[in-house]
């Protein structure tokens, strides 16, 4: 029983240490979240430009066939 309580206490202390680290270094995680948001925005923006470029190429091909 003492081993079980010791294990539970160890897990509790590890969780407490992890939360204390996050609390004191929250700006690091904020910067990571901000970078990820910019990354997702950049991917979406490039996807839109790629789709627009494909449409323009298709229109150019159709116009070239008409002449």
Note the pLDDT tens digit of each residue in 19-54.
Answer: 999 889 889 888 999 999 999 999 999 999 999 999
pLDDT tier, 2 (very low <50, low <70, confident <90, very high otherwise): confident
Structural domains in the chain (count) = 1
Q: What beta strand segments (E) does the chain contain? A: none
For 8-31, b/e burial (b = at least 16 CB within 10 A) is eeeeeeeeeeeeeeeeeeeeeeee
Please give the model's pTM, rounded to 2 decimal places: 0.53
pLDDT tier, 13 (very low <50, low <70, confident <90, very high otherwise): very high
Q: What is the pLDDT, as a whole number, of residue 26?
A: 86
What's the domain range around 37?
2-66
Indicate if the pLDDT at residue 67 is higher than 70: no
């Amino acid at each position: 029983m003492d081993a079980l309580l010791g294990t539970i206490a160890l897990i509790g202390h590890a969780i407490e240490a992890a939360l204390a680290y996050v609390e004191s270094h929250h700006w690091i995680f904020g910067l990571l979240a901000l970078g990820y948001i910019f990354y997702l925005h950049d991917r979406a923006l490039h996807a839109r430009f790629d789709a627009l470029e494909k449409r323009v190429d298709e229109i150019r091909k159709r116009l070239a066939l008409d002449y």
